[in-house]
């Protein structure tokens, strides 16, 4: 599947900082001592495990930021399925630039492809239901836009990007407001802009029933509810708002959760603890 690319301005700070972290103040002294200046190198990225590719734009920048003359030709596009051994991209240019950017390119490509891969697996698991798979704000510092992009490359969707995207009233907010969900919703709506959506986290059916009585929330986050409670919650909401299931959802349970009729499954682990996909860079000459 194709995915809308991110502008380079969102990739560049991450790639630039990673290269600076890796090169230090002296550069790649191993390559400097072993390789003749200006020596040309050609290499290919290959998948070593099946999965979904994401992050090609960032991988390219890992080389072109070091040397704009480096040629990076992708054989696939983000969102494509990978088979072991398939050539993902070819890179050609000065050896010092390719070897200097190799680890940054592979780290990013493997990490984002890991996110896209597991997102595709979970999305496929709930296929045929109306449920969407979404990520959360549980992202690694500095990588949020890239990680959320990888979720989209895997066929998923995004929750809030930032705290100012929407109002999400969680248990800690309710504790500060005296625990009254109706009062919290009324206060939020009275102070929110007319375009701002309001979501309320509820832990029990009783909380949900109280919140529904005022018909203010646009979405209900049904937190750590069992399957019977989720079904009851969906019936109570009755399409008046979005029903979002969250908490403890695994690849094994995602299908059964989706079949309760919820609209959204939100999974923090898609971004905060995903396993990197095994991708290698093989030198041709």
Residue 120, C-beta contacts closer than 8 angstroms, at least 6 positions apart: 52, 154, 155
Which of 170, 171, 180, 240 does the annotation list as catalytic?
Answer: 170
User: Does the annotation mark 223 as catalytic?
Assistant: yes
User: Does the annotation mark 238 as catalytic?
Assistant: no
User: Does the annotation mark 148 as catalytic?
Assistant: no
Which of 42, 48, 49, 138 does the annotation list as catalytic?
Answer: 138
Separation CA 196–CA 217 (nearest Å): 11
For residue 178, with 0-12 CB atoms within 10 Å meaning exposed, 13-18 middle and 19 or more buried, which class applies?
exposed
Which of 78, 199, 223, 244 does the annotation list as catalytic?
Answer: 223
Task: Report CA-CA distances (Å) from 117 to 98, 122, 123, 173, 203.
Answer: 26, 9, 10, 34, 31
Q: Is 46 within 8 Å of 279 (Cβ atoms)?
A: yes
User: Does the annotation mark 36 as catalytic?
Assistant: no
Rg of the Cα trace of the chain? Answer: 23
Which of 28, 80, 199, 201 does the annotation list as catalytic?
Answer: 201
What are 259's two structure tokens?
A: 């079949």
Residue 121: CB atoms within 10 Å: 16
Which of 103, 137, 189, 231 does the annotation list as catalytic?
Answer: 103
Q: Measured over all CA atoms, what is the biggest interatomic distance in the chain, rounded to whole angstroms?
A: 75
Residue 77 φ/ψ, nearest 5 degrees = -120, 155
Task: Report CA-CA distances (Å) from 136 to 13, 126, 145, 155, 215.
Answer: 22, 18, 12, 15, 25
User: What's the DSSP call for residue 179?
Assistant: T
User: Does the annotation mark 49 as catalytic?
Assistant: no
Q: Could you give the residue numbers annotated as active site?
A: 103, 138, 170, 201, 223
């Amino acid at each position: 599947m194709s995915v809308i690319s991110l502008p380079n301005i969102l990739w560049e700070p991450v790639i630039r900082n990673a290269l600076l972290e890796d090169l230090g103040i002296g550069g790649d002294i191993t390559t400097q001592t072993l390789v003749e200046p200006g020596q040309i190198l050609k290499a290919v990225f290959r998948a070593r495990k099946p999965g979904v590719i994401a992050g090609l734009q960032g991988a390219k920048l890992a080389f072109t930021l070091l040397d704009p003359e480096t040629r990076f030709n992708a054989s696939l596009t983000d969102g494509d399925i990978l088979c072991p051994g398939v050539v993902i991209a070819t890179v050609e240019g000065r050896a010092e630039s390719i070897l200097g950017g190799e680890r940054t390119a592979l780290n990013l490509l493997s990490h984002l492809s890991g996110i896209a891969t597991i997102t595709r697996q979970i999305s496929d698991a709930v296929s045929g239901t109306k449920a969407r798979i979404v990520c959360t704000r549980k992202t690694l510092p500095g990588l949020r836009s890239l990680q959320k992009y990888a979720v989209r490359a895997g066929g998923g969707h995004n929750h809030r990007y930032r705290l100012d995207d929407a109002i999400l009233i969680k248990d800690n907010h309710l504790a500060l407001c005296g625990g009254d969900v109706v009062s919290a919703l009324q206060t939020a709506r009275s102070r929110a802009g007319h375009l701002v959506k309001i979501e309320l986290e509820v832990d029990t059916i009783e909380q949900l029933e109280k919140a529904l009585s005022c018909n203010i929330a646009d979405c209900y986050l049904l937190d750590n509810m069992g399957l019977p409670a989720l079904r009851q919650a969906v019936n109570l909401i009755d399409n008046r708002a979005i029903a979002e299931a969250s908490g403890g959802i695994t690849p094994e349970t995602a299908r059964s959760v989706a079949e309760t009729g919820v609209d959204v499954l939100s999974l923090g682990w898609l971004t905060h603890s995903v396993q990197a996909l095994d991708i290698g860079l093989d030198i041709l000459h």
